[in-house]
């Protein structure tokens, strides 16, 4: 669908949770649908780890359709005939917003000189964008996975900025298992000799092998075992020359699942920056809303984080998602109940694992539409 691309230059330095600040920040974003005169119909869609602002328009690098075209568009659950949809690339990413490949004040890319950021820092950038656009309160903030973390972070830290909060397949904090998988990915990147401590922007080569392995490992966590078995099982991969797949007694991609993962990994390196992957996974690992709201040396309680919440909340989990399982959403629901916030929660049945939020799950469409319009 038709989208408008924009770059917003932050008028002031962006303070960061680390205590540092970032100057000259730019945020790249897409908009869809008309903004009402009173600016009351804006919906902010937040993207996941490797997502971007192209939620419902073709990706400029891959040419593929927007990552949530099935959800966002005219007459779709996030209806651009009714709502003005904004989707911005988070800071630290690589699709036009300021990140490690952006140029620092000295004219060279930041690379690993880029400050470590948090999910709250990303959201602080988004709030600065909303300020710039003159949007005081969103009709809704919506996101899945890391997008859901941003939606929750906005609700906890800027409680008057969104009337509705829709967080799908997400969590209030990264678990040891979540951190572990991310660390595998980061180590794969940093073990690639082409990474060169992150200073690869000026050279001929980039750490594609490491980034591809990181993506392969992460991709497994986005799928369910049932889904993998159904899609690939132990089936063998036919050769490019057309010969039937067979065990080669070597280390080619004999199995279809190997071939698929390699394809996913190499495709990813064409559109994503390895250092951005390091920074964004780090931000997700640091994510813990309760901890952010710890006071006076006491352990933070999740309910306290949402004590001032004014919004209506809707949480959705999927029964086959083992990355951010239903228990994580329930944990959030209990905290929101304790805080007295109006909250809906449903665990939907879908076979696709964590990626279910991006795929064909008609029940999700109905929930999203009902929640946004209700």
Q: Which residues are catalytic?
A: 145, 321, 354
Part of the chain binding another protein (CB under 8 A), chosen from 28-36, 83-91, 120-128, 366-374:
366-374
Task: Give all strands (DSSP E) within 220-370, no chain letters.
Answer: 312-318, 343-348
Q: Is 357 in the site for another protein (CB under 8 A)?
A: no
| Nearer of residues 55 and 166 to another protein, judged by Cβ | 166
Q: Is 370 in the site for another protein (CB under 8 A)?
A: yes
Sequence-ordered alpha helix ranges (H) in 223-255: 225-231
The distance of closest approach from Cβ of residue 301 to another protein in the complex, given in angstroms and rounded to an integer, is: 13
Part of the chain binding another protein (CB under 8 A), chosen from 47-55, 87-95, 276-284, 361-369:
361-369
Q: Is 82 in the site for another protein (CB under 8 A)?
A: no
Type and span of the H or E element at 21: strand 21-22
The distance of closest approach from Cβ of residue 319 to another protein in the complex, given in angstroms and rounded to an integer, is: 9
* Alpha carbons 99 and 105: distance in angstroms, whole number: 13
Return the SS3 of 10: coil
- Terminal-to-terminal C-alpha distance of the chain: 25
β-pairing, 72-73 with 78-79? parallel
CB 141 within 8 A of CB 314: no
Give the DSSP per-residue string, 349-373.
P-TTGGGGGGS--HHHHHHHHHHHH
Binding mask 333-352 for another protein (x = CB under 8 A): xx--xx-x-xxxxxxxx---
One residue of 67, 68, 277, 371 binding another protein per CB under 8 A: 371
* Alpha carbons 56 and 139: distance in angstroms, whole number: 19
| Nearer of residues 74 and 340 to another protein, judged by Cβ | 340
| Nearer of residues 269 and 317 to another protein, judged by Cβ | 317
Part of the chain binding another protein (CB under 8 A), chosen from 90-98, 125-133, 268-276, 326-334:
326-334
- Using CB under 8 A as the binding criterion, the count of chain residues that bind another protein stands at 24
* Alpha carbons 249 and 247: distance in angstroms, whole number: 6
The distance of closest approach from Cβ of residue 344 to another protein in the complex, given in angstroms and rounded to an integer, is: 5
| Nearer of residues 233 and 362 to another protein, judged by Cβ | 362
Binding mask 300-319 for another protein (x = CB under 8 A): ------------x-x-----
The distance of closest approach from Cβ of residue 374 to another protein in the complex, given in angstroms and rounded to an integer, is: 2
The distance of closest approach from Cβ of residue 373 to another protein in the complex, given in angstroms and rounded to an integer, is: 7
Task: Give all strands (DSSP E) within the chain, no chain letters.
Answer: 4-9, 14-15, 21-22, 26-32, 42-46, 72-73, 78-79, 84-88, 140-144, 164-168, 312-318, 343-348
Q: Report the site for another protein in 17-76 (rule: CB under 8 A).
A: none
Q: Is 327 in the site for another protein (CB under 8 A)?
A: no
Residue 51's CB: how many other CB atoms inside 10 A?
24
Q: Is 287 in the site for another protein (CB under 8 A)?
A: no
Give the DSSP per-residue string, 49-75.
TT--S-SSS--TTT-PPPTTTTTEETT
CB 321 within 8 A of CB 328: no
Return the SS3 of 254: coil
The distance of closest approach from Cβ of residue 335 to another protein in the complex, given in angstroms and rounded to an integer, is: 8
The distance of closest approach from Cβ of residue 159 to another protein in the complex, given in angstroms and rounded to an integer, is: 17
Residue ranges in contact with another protein by CB under 8 A: 312, 314, 330, 333-334, 337-338, 340, 342-349, 363, 366-367, 369-371, 373-374
């Amino acid at each position: 669908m038709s989208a408008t691309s924009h770059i917003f230059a932050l008028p002031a330095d962006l303070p960061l949770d680390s205590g540092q600040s970032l100057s000259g920040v730019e945020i790249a974003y897409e908009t869809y649908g008309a903004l009402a005169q009173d600016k009351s119909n804006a919906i902010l869609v937040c993207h996941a780890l490797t997502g971007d602002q192209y939620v419902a328009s073709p990706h400029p690098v891959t040419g593929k359709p927007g990552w949530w075209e099935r959800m966002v568009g005219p007459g779709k659950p996030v209806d651009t005939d009714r709502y003005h949809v904004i989707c911005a690339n988070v800071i630290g990413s690589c699709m036009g917003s300021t990140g490690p490949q952006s140029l620092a004040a000295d004219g060279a890319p930041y690379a690993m000189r880029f400050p470590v950021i948090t999910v709250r820092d990303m959201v602080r950038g988004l709030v600065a964008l909303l300020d710039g656009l003159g949007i005081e309160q969103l009709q809704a903030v919506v996101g899945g996975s890391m997008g859901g973390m941003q939606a929750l972070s906005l609700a906890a830290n800027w409680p008057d900025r969104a009337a509705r909060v829709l967080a799908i397949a997400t969590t209030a904090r990264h678990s040891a298992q979540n951190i572990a998988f991310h660390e595998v990915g980061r180590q794969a990147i940093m073990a690639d000799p082409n990474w060169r401590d992150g200073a690869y922007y000026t050279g001929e080569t980039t750490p594609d092998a490491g980034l591809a392995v990181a993506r392969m490992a992460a991709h497994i966590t986005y799928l369910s075992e049932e889904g993998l078995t159904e899609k690939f099982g132990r089936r063998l991969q036919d050769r490019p020359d057309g010969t039937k797949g067979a065990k080669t007694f070597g280390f080619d991609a004999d199995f279809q699942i190997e071939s698929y993962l390699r394809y996913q990994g190499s495709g990813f390196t064409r559109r994503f920056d390895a250092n951005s992957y390091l920074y964004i996974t780090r931000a997700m690992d640091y994510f813990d809303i309760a901890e952010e709201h710890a006071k006076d040396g006491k352990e933070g309680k999740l309910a306290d984080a949402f004590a001032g919440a004014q919004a209506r909340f809707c949480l959705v989990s999927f029964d086959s998602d083992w990355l951010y399982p239903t228990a994580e959403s329930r944990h959030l629901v209990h905290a929101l109940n304790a805080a007295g916030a109006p909250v809906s929660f449903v665990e939907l049945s879908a076979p696709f694992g964590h990626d279910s939020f991006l795929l064909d799950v008609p029940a999700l469409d109905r929930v999203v539409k009902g929640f946004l319009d209700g």
